[in-house]
């Protein structure tokens, strides 16, 4: 079935350029020139992927991304952030709120198309080993069905990416994974995401679930190697 891509950018020439090239590759394209219209089209047109400009009128792209991630019906919708800003802080912020990828202007159209295909492959690829539906360890409880996480009975708010990272860890307790391996298994191959992003998400995940993030009991650092979830028989 033809994949539907929503392109949201207030620069109409950019939208036209992206749409033309994606259509040449067999995609169907939807167009929005402000954040409010983009959000409405996400809800009504149900695209398979959204390309979001960071700076847009009505509602900024960052806020649209947050809205997408907050709604159960759209939480898993792939999002690629597109912006003229190249500041690493903007990039990390975009990834932290749930963007699947990030590309800055000016960009090569072929690279953007490659990233669209890579993100779609990652979201469509079935997991090689599904995480447990329900998991409890040392006061941490993860319910995969409802995407709820509690620690000592207290609910914890996680972004979609943090929840996916936690699910991966609890599915492989005691096994050490490097940053590159986590990028491949959680973000997917050809993700164009920097290893530093893993550190940021691990830090935020610890801040959410660890009683003492400086001395974690769940997600442990293995110096020189990477990260692991605690051995369950410790």
CATH no. for residue 161? 1.10.10.10
Residues 97 and 37 in one domain: yes
Residue-level pLDDT at 69: 85
Residues 153 and 223 in one domain: yes
Compute mean pLDDT per 10 residues along the chain, 234 residues long, and list them. Answer: 91 94 94 95 94 90 89 87 70 70 84 86 60 87 90 92 92 86 75 74 95 94 89 73
CATH number, position 38: 3.40.50.2300
Residue-level pLDDT at 191: 47
Per DSSP, which regions of 54-115 are E strands? 79-83, 101-104
Residue-level pLDDT at 190: 46
Q: Residue 114 and residue 73: Cα distance in Å, rounded? A: 26
Residue-level pLDDT at 232: 80
Burial class (CB in 10 A: 0-12, 13-18, 19+), 159: buried
| Claim: this prediction has a pTM higher than 0.85 | no
Domain-ending residue, one of 77, 101, 124: 124
Residue-level pLDDT at 34: 95
Domain-ending residue, one of 98, 124, 150: 124
Cis peptide before 40 (omega within 30 of 0): no
- Please state the domain count of the chain: 2
Q: Does the residue 234 lie in any domain?
A: no
Residues 23 and 48 in one domain: yes
The whole domain housing 85 covers 4-124
Residue-level pLDDT at 234: 56
Could you tell me the two tokens for 147?
């995407």
Residues 117 and 10 in one domain: yes
């Amino acid at each position: 079935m033809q994949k539907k891509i929503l392109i949201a950018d207030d620069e109409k020439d950019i939208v036209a350029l992206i749409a033309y090239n994606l259509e040449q590759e067999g995609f169907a394209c939807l167009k929005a020139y402000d954040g409010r219209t983009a959000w409405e089209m996400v809800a009504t047109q149900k695209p398979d992927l959204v390309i979001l400009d960071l700076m847009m009128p009505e509602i900024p792209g960052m806020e649209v991304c947050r809205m997408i991630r907050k709604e159960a019906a759209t939480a898993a919708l792939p999002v690629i952030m597109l912006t003229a800003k190249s500041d690493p802080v903007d990039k990390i912020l975009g990834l932290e709120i749930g963007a699947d990828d990030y590309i800055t202007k000016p960009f090569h159209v072929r690279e953007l198309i490659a990233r669209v295909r890579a993100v779609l492959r990652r979201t469509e690829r079935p997991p090689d080993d599904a995480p447990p539906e329900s998991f409890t360890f040392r006061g941490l409880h993860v319910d995969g069905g409802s995407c709820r996480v509690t620690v000592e009975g207290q609910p914890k708010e996680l972004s979609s990416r943090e929840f996916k990272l936690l699910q991966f860890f609890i599915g492989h307790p005691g096994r050490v994974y490097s940053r590159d391996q986590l990028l491949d298994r959680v973000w997917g191959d050809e993700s164009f995401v920097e290893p530093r992003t893993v550190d940021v998400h691990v830090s935020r995940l610890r801040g959410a679930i660890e009683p003492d993030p400086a001395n974690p009991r769940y997600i442990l650092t293995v110096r020189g190697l990477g990260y692991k979830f605690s051995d369950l028989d410790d």
